[in-house]
Amino acid sequence: MHAHARQIFLENMAQTSPNPLALHVVRAEGNYLFDVHGNRYLDLIAGISVCNIGHQHPNVVEAVKAQAEKFMHVMVYGETIQTPQSTYAKRLIEQLPSTLNCCYFVNSGAEAIDGAMKLAKRVTGKTDFLALTDAYHGSTQGPLSLMSNEYYSQAFRPLLPSVHFVKQNDLEALSFIPWNQVSAVVVELIQAERGAQKTEEAFLKALRSLCDQHCTLLVFDEIQTGFGRTGHLFAFEKYGVIPDVLVLGKALGGGMPMGAFIADRKLMNQLSDQPILGHITTFGGHPIVAAAGNAAFDVLLTNQLVETVKSKEALFRSLLQHPKIKAVHGEGLLLAVELESFETVQQTIQQMLAKGLFSDWFLFAPNCLRIAPPLTISLEEIQWACDQILDVLSEL
């Protein structure tokens, strides 16, 4: 049965790599995944920062069931009043600064980046973008244009022209940017796929000042860092720098596919006129997805999960000490364990799987092991996970 399922997977599904992990997951609950053989795996990556409140939370499951019994898709986004959408938008906006007061729901983080890029061009009348080297904002052609890494982008050129790149935290390089042409700066607070490398406050404040001077929008990509991942509800809260556009995804849908870009209404309204329907989506803000996201957001806030993140980070850092660990990068529960090589990381992932731990690596830091579990992970589970990781490293 398992071999047959694997064959169906390989023969009928488009593959993203020559050697997929191909773990046959049949169930997920709390902080654990279960495979077809009944084996249990502690999930250390939360679906890549998606399942912040764990898998299959009963409140989320119930919200999905309840909404499915009322209605599913009825009309393209924005044309009918659908309470799950508007309720969730209101709750998000209540947690944000007053200038982030208008929410546009889409289907993914990549689509939200695309929407933010269109908004910037529409509002500013300018054509160029500024992005950071080794950033990852998604795989569709707009976000892919913001990717400096030629290994991932060169096969798909031509992409959007006039994208300028600077290194993270390189203040000097900002003086060489043609700001009169730049519609938006798109930046991650933590460059996740670079191995959880933090953007410095001075750099963010410099970007904010330059954007204000040159009528350029500052866009924060919090697709991976949002919803408590760093120990703040949103990572930008730590810096005292407010973006013009906030981009969300991953944990936004509570395990369902959802993205959003949020800005001031006076900016966002410009997408609705000249041309009308300047940005449109069929399934964005799907009522079932919005219901799931709203329920998950409620769990996150009610259970005060964000407040537990810093102590869990500290425990990971105190325990992940080994001669083969060169460093631990990141913040909160978005951590990258730096090892010697990509080969070492791959061996570690496979051996962790044999011990009941599910993990992964990073696109632009293949020598780093990803640690981004559900925020619901317990201190006891962290202790056990780190013990297993250290045993694996000692056995390599």
- What residue segments make up the domains of the chain, in order of their start? 2-52+305-395, 59-302
pLDDT digits (tens, 9 = 90+) for 324-342: 999 999 999 999 999 999 9
Q: Give the angle 67-111-9 at the CA atoms, nearest 5°.
A: 75
Cβ of 394: how many Cβ atoms within 10 Å?
Answer: 10
Element (H, E) at 330: strand 327-331
Rounded CA-CA distance 166/42 in Å is 38
Number of residues assigned to the chain: 396
**Chain position carrying tokens 């694996």:** 392
pLDDT, tens only, 20-76: 777 889 999 999 999 999 999 999 999 999 999 999 999 999 999 999 999 999 999
Tokens found for residue 91: 């709750």
Helix axes 379-395, 342-354, angle to 10 degrees: 120
Tokens of 126: 């300018």
* CATH label, 59-302, candidates 3.30.70.100, 3.40.50.11540, 3.40.640.10, 3.30.230.70: 3.40.640.10
CA–CA separation, 148 vs 131, rounded Å?
A: 8
pTM above 0.85, yes or no: yes
Q: How far apart are CA 375 and CA 306, in angstroms?
A: 7
2-52+305-395 fold: Aspartate Aminotransferase, domain 1 (3.90.1150)
- The tokens of 124 are what? 């500013």
Pick left, alpha or beta for residue 48 (phi over 0 → left; psi -120 to 50 → alpha; otherwise beta). Answer: left
DSSP characters over 221-265: E-TTTTTTTTSSSSGGGGTT---SEEEE-GGGGBTB--EEEEE-H
Q: Which of 52-56, 140-144, 286-290, 367-371 has the weakest average pLDDT?
A: 140-144
User: Residue 189 is encoded by which pair of tokens?
Assistant: 């607070």
User: Residue 316: enclosing H or E segment and its boundaries?
Assistant: helix 309-319
- pLDDT of 166 strictly over 90: yes
Buried b (16+ CB within 10 A) or exposed e, 103-142: bbbbbbbbbbbbbbbbbbebbbebebbbbbbbbbbbeeeb
pLDDT-derived band at 152 (thresholds 50, 70, 90) equals confident
